[in-house]
Amino acid sequence: MDVRVEQNENLWQFHLEGRLDLAGAEAVENAFNPLKSQKLFGCTLIIDFSGVHYISSSGLRVIVACFNHLEEQEGRMILCGMDIAVREVFDFAGLSDVFTITESLAEALDLARTY
């Protein structure tokens, strides 16, 4: 699992690439670490799944934990670029309606601008 992070003022982008299984979730958790020491009020965090073609419950868990942390601090999260396999697992877990999900990264960036 490779995570590329981009930050521009209050917009964070996490571009994930690889399997988001138990091993991948550890890597993503580490990538999220810098967020812990930040004020996230008013921030938007985009998680770009276009490089992810597999996710397990361990992957969901780390996304949910980050979402909860953001909500507490009144930040926002947008998920984008999910393929059908990844989307299916979010559906399985009843999580598709909880998150803000866009098809493409471009749409996610557009949406972030309107916040």
Partner 1 sequence: MDIPLRHRPGVPSFVEVSLPSDPKYLAVVCTMIREFARLHGMAEELLRKIELAVDEVCSNVIVHAYEGRHDAVYRVRCTFDEPRLVIEVFDRGHSFSLEQCPKPKLEGPLKSRGTGGLGIHFIRKIMDEVEYEGHLGGENCFRMIKKVA
**Which residues bind to partner 1, rule: CB under 8 A?**
1-2, 17-19, 21-23, 26-27, 54, 56-58, 60-61, 64-65, 67-68, 71, 85, 88-89, 92-94, 98
The H or E element containing residue 13 is: strand 11-17
Q: Tokens 């998680």 map to which residue?
A: 47
Least distance in angstroms from the C-beta of 41 to partner 1 = 18
In Å, what is the CA distance from 36 to each residue of 14, 55, 69, 71? 15, 24, 9, 13
Dihedral angle computed from the Cα positions of residues 96, 115, 52 and 92, in that order, rounded to the nearest 10 degrees: -10
Least gap, CB of 81 to partner 1 (angstroms): 18
Rank residues 11 and 61 by Cβ distance to partner 1 and give the closer one: 61
- Residue 78 Cβ, how far from partner 1 at the closest point, in Å? 15
